[in-house]
Structure formats: structure tokens, C-alpha cells
Amino acid sequence: MAGAKHNGYRNAVTRRIHFVSLGCAKNRVDTEIMLGVSDASGFEVVADPADAEIIVVNTCGFIGPAKEESVDTILEMAHYKDAGACERLVVSGCLAQRYVGQLAGEMPEVDHFLGSSDMLRLREILDDRGERLMVGNPADYTIRATDPRRLTQRAHSAYVKIAEGCNRTCSFCAIPGIRGKQRSRPVDDVVREVEGLVARGVVEANLVSQDTIAYGRDLDDRPTLAELVAALARIDGLRWLRLHYLYPETLSAELVDVFRTHDNVLSYVDMPLQHASDAMLRSMRRGHGGRRIYDVIERLRGALPDMVFRTTFIVGHPGETDADFDELCDLVRWAEFDHVGVFLYSHEEDTHSGTMRDLVDGDVARARQRKLMTLQRTIARKRSNALVGRELEVLVDGPSEESDILLDGRWWGQAPEVDGKIILANGTARPGEIRRAVVTQAADYDLVADLLTPEGVRDVPVE
């Protein structure tokens, strides 16, 4: 029920806020921090933007399509200032950090801008103390275990940011200019956060940062990623621990040993490789050639025979020839990755690649993207079919989108939201349970399975 207006807001009982989170998992964590701030300020989060007095759009500003989506979403939400209850529109995140001057001049409908590290300053806006431009230096903030946070995925799964920023100089990437230099969190602070998440029911933690393999190198005591992961693996109740965004450099024997010796550290490697051609890797300023990629994959598969490998590639980077692309296809055929994403190159200002003029025709780049994804689809289908008949540990996510009598889950080789799912066709289970299931059918990316009882027989079908 609507309340009376007071100082630009409705009364404290009926203050409502709506969030839109765009971009990557790291951005999702930032949104969850702002949700925690709004909870602490007494706001009710609503799903319908038409009901909200404050709307927050947390933007992505990494590449062209993400920027377009962010701008379109801002304009869509601005409509509710005329057609809904919205009194203040807040734009936060990477787009605001990167283009605040331009956006402020071209979008008078936006009341406040927060940068990529200004999530906690949302409190000033909610307290009616905020200025219009509140975009600070990203280096001034690193997430802490004490920061408020409301999970937005599921109560049993969470992304955990172990660092902010990046020290790499990849030629195509604007992130260091948006997020600043790498700032790793102390081991004990990350442990404290994950312990708190587990106490709230989280059984799956997914570690993310811009450059996860470089964790700790900027800290005085120089803790290693292996030390951090080992410390997290010892947390009682943490069943699955997954690492994302590892850079393709030589992985330490210590880290490989952590994968092997801790059952809850999943043999899941998310390593954005970007390309395979020496010429392209040099042009992208990746700091290595194609041979290292083959060596890293061989070493990991030798040490972790059941490893699941996720990666991403960029096609259409300036100067990419047909021969370069063929080398990339050769790598994908050889490696038979489990999960692959293929992105079109985006010509970005404030990047080294953005100064290059040897551009690839857009139709050619899109054709390469389609060809590579078609190739990967065949590989994915083969790998999925190989799972039919196998028993897997499955994390139950909840009721299926397909039917009320089905459940959705994921085996440990499927990260949330990016790697497909398992449809559980029989039995009952609670969200957050990890159960054994036998795979009965496979599609390109999704699987169908039957839950098993503790005795190892198929559970009773749901009627």
C-alpha cells in the first residue's frame, strides 16, 4: 500500500527499491553489496520497477554490446520516473566509472552516478545525502567480509571476489582503467566471508577476480592462491569450491596439489585463453605464445584426469587472418574443451587494440564466431553423451523451469548460469542438497538424470 510522501521518499514502512544487475559475476557481487546496503537502510527490494521509488542499474562497460545493453536498460528504467513510482534513478558500475562525464551530460534523467568501487556510498543516496556525481577512485575500495551483502542467486551458492582490479596489459581490455590495479584481499578476510556464507547455508563457493592466478602478489606477505584455496577447503560445510578466471601461465605444483588433495576443491578450471595463434597472442599482449597453452592443458590433464575445462576466445581481433583462425580451430579440436564461450572483438577506446587499424570485417568475424561455436557444439554433444549412464554428484538448485514436477540441478562440472544444467526427472530433494544421480539422456549442454536413494537405487518418480 502506498504511503505518504516525505522529504522526497515515502515513509519508512513503504520505501521500495529495485535493482538491475548487468554484466559478469563480479558485477553481481557488487550488486549484492548494494542490496545489503539497502537492507540495512530499511528499504524493501521489489521485483517490479514500477513499484520502486529508487531504481539502481549496475552497469557493465567492458565491450560494445555490454555498453549498449547498459544504456538501453538505463533508458528503460528512466521511463518509470514518468510511468511508475520512481523518484530517483541511480546508475552504478563500470559504465559510470568509464564515462561519467559523458553520461552526466547526456542523461539528465539519472539522479546519481556511482563508480565501480562506490557501492557502499549508496547509503548516502538512500539517506538523501548523496551528490549527483559520486564516482571515486576504484583503488580506494576492496570488498571486505564485513560489508553487507544479500545473495541473489540461490541460498546455497555464492560467488566470492578474492581481489579487485588487474595488473595485466592485454591490448584489448579496458578493465585496468575501469577497476584499477590489482588489490588482493587478505586470506583471513576471504576465509571469514566464506565461513559466514556457509553459516547462512551456502555449500558452493565460486572464487572470482579479474586475474585469479595472480592472487596475493600485491600483498606484503605475498600469500599464494594455493594457500588461500587450501584455507577455504578446510571450512566445515563447504562442499564445492570452484576457481574462475585463471590466467594461462605455469600453475604452481602447490596449486595443482591442492586440487588433488582436497575433495571439495573441484577439478574445474576456468581459464580464458583468448586465442591460439602466436601472432594473435602477441598482438593481444598476452605474454605467451600458443605452445604454452598446449603445455598448460597437457599438464593439467595429466595431473587431474577428470578435469573439466572452461575457456573463452576472441575472434575478429585486428590483424586476425584466416590462418590465425584456423590455428584457433585446431586448438579447439585438439583440446575438446568442456565449455567454450566465443566473443566478437570490440574496438574499444583507451586500449592498445583500439589504436589498431587492421580491422577484420564484421561479417567475417561473425562467420568465424559461428564456425567456432558450431565446432564446439559437436564437441560438447560428444562430451555430454559420454556422461550417459554415469553416476554424478548433483547439487539441487530447485524446481525446474521445464515443469513443476521436475528439479533443476548441476553436477560439479557445471558452474552456475554458464554451463548448462541437469534436469532431475524423478524423486524429491531440497535446494542445496548434494545427491547422487544417474544420467539418462544428454543434449548439447544439458543433461537429464534420475536421483538415487542413499542405497544407490533410483528414487521414486514424482507423480
**How high is the pLDDT of residue 187?**
97
- Structural domain for 332, as ranges: 157-385
Same domain, 202 and 56: no
Q: Is the pLDDT of residue 382 over 60?
A: yes
Q: Give me the CATH number covering residue 289.
A: 3.80.30.20
Same domain, 77 and 63: yes
Same domain, 436 and 366: no
Q: Give me the CATH number covering residue 431.
A: 2.40.50.140
**How high is the pLDDT of residue 400?**
83
* Residue 108 located in a structural domain: yes
- C-alpha torsion 411→412→415→421, nearest 10: -10
Number of domains the chain is built from: 3
Whole-Å CA distances, 176 to 98, 182, 219, 245, 254? 11, 8, 18, 15, 28
Q: Is the pLDDT of residue 267 over 50?
A: yes
**How high is the pLDDT of residue 3?**
30
Same domain, 223 and 367: yes
* Residue 152 located in a structural domain: no
Same domain, 332 and 431: no
Same domain, 209 and 343: yes
* Residue 459 located in a structural domain: no
Same domain, 201 and 319: yes
Any idea what the Cα angle at residue 380 is, between residues 377 and 383, rounded to 5°?
155
Whole-Å CA distances, 213 to 182, 247, 272, 406? 12, 6, 12, 38
* Residue 97 located in a structural domain: yes
pLDDT average, residue stretch 91-102:
92
pLDDT average, residue stretch 84-98:
91
Phi, psi of 161 (to 5 degrees): -85, 125
Q: Is the pLDDT of residue 76 over 90?
A: yes
pLDDT average, residue stretch 134-145:
91
pTM: 0.90
Same domain, 183 and 265: yes
Q: Give me the CATH number covering residue 36.
A: 3.40.50.12160
Same domain, 367 and 397: no
Of 385, 403, 430, which one is at a domain's C-terminal end? 385
**How high is the pLDDT of residue 13?**
55
Same domain, 16 and 42: yes
Helices 225-233 and 253-261 cross at an angle (nearest 10°) of: 10
Of 103, 138, 173, which one is at a domain's C-terminal end? 138
* Residue 150 located in a structural domain: no
Same domain, 397 and 381: no
* Residue 133 located in a structural domain: yes
* Residue 149 located in a structural domain: no
* Residue 98 located in a structural domain: yes
**How high is the pLDDT of residue 461?**
56
Q: Is the pLDDT of residue 6 over 90?
A: no
**Distance, CA of 301 to CA of 271 (rounded, Å):** 13
Same domain, 370 and 401: no
Work out the pLDDT band at 8, boundaries 50, 70, 90.
very low
Of 365, 385, 405, which one is at a domain's C-terminal end? 385
